[in-house]
């Protein structure tokens, strides 16, 4: 019986790249420098799309470019959408990554980070509360067209006053929970990565 030899591919450790572009067999450094020069000239934000088939080196390029940008004093956040796809809200994921980057900055103090997290929580609460409000107003408009309009509107106003009172208290608690989620995002991410590492052993 013939012995089957197992292939052991060496996996790149993208978490600890020591030197940007090391092992650049396809000379992608040139593209990274060109893109950096392009981004440096922009007067406003932009979105760059990098597209290639699976296995053609997108992750390698982006990780090494991020290291190069970091080495050349650019603010960089690397966000792996697939690694964070267990989260329901992409806005929360992005905000948590920005908050984490702020924590590593010498230019941003703890009070500013707390303010950012608080504003992020407020935005999330606002976004969550808009949809039911729109639905309720649309329903009232439809009721207003019928004979029950005035009575329904009075009931709505009384209910809304009670709702607003309770809502303010609930909103504050929800805001606190969102801020906790932003602060613990990095720990959750590391825990999931540790779990994946254990599974791959």
Domain presence at residue 43: yes
Identify the domain boundary among 76, 96, 121: 76
Which residues have C-beta within 8 Å of that of residue 65, sequence separation ≥ 6?
Answer: 20, 32, 35, 36
pLDDT level of residue 121 (50, 70, 90 thresholds): confident
For 23, the domain range is 14-76
52 and 119 fall within a common domain: no
Question: Does residue 12 surpass a pLDDT of 80?
Answer: no
Question: Does residue 61 surpass a pLDDT of 80?
Answer: yes
On whether the CB atoms of residues 116 and 99 are closer than 8 A, the answer is yes
63 and 117 fall within a common domain: no
On whether the CB atoms of residues 117 and 179 are closer than 8 A, the answer is yes
Which pLDDT score, from 0 to 100, does residue 5 have? Answer: 66
Question: Does residue 145 surpass a pLDDT of 50?
Answer: no
Domain presence at residue 94: no
Which pLDDT score, from 0 to 100, does residue 45 have? Answer: 79
Q: Tell me how many domains the chain contains.
A: 2
Alpha helices in 3-104 (DSSP H): 29-41, 58-71, 90-103
Least confident of 70-74, 77-81, 121-125: 121-125
Q: Is 73 exposed, middle or buried (0-12, 13-18, 19+ CB in 10 A)?
A: exposed
> Structure pTM?
0.62
Domain presence at residue 115: yes
Which pLDDT score, from 0 to 100, does residue 168 have? Answer: 63
130 and 61 fall within a common domain: no
3-state secondary structure of 99: helix
Which pLDDT score, from 0 to 100, does residue 148 have? Answer: 44
pLDDT level of residue 102 (50, 70, 90 thresholds): confident
Rounded Cα distance between 140 and 143, Å, is 5
């Amino acid at each position: 019986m013939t012995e089957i030899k197992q292939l052991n591919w060496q996996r790149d450790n993208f978490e600890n790249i020591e030197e940007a572009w090391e092992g650049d067999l396809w000379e992608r450094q040139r593209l990274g420098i060109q893109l950096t020069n392009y981004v440096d000239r922009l007067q406003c934000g932009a979105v760059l799309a990098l597209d290639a088939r699976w296995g053609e080196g997108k992750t390698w390029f982006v990780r090494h470019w991020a290291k190069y940008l970091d080495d050349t004093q650019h603010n960089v956040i690397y966000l792996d959408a697939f690694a964070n796809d267990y989260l329901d809200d992409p806005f929360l994921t992005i905000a948590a990554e920005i908050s984490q980057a702020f924590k590593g900055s010498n230019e941003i103090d703890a009070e500013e980070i707390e303010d950012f997290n608080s504003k992020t929580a407020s935005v999330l609460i606002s976004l969550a509360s808009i949809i039911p409000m729109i639905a309720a107003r649309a329903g009232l408009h439809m009721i207003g067209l019928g004979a029950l309009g005035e009575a329904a509107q009075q009931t709505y106003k009384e209910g809304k006053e009670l709702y607003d009172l309770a809502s303010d208290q609930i909103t504050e608690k929800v805001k606190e929970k969102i801020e906790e989620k932003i602060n613990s995002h990095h720990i959750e991410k590391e825990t999931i990565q540790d779990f994946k590492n254990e599974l791959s052993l």
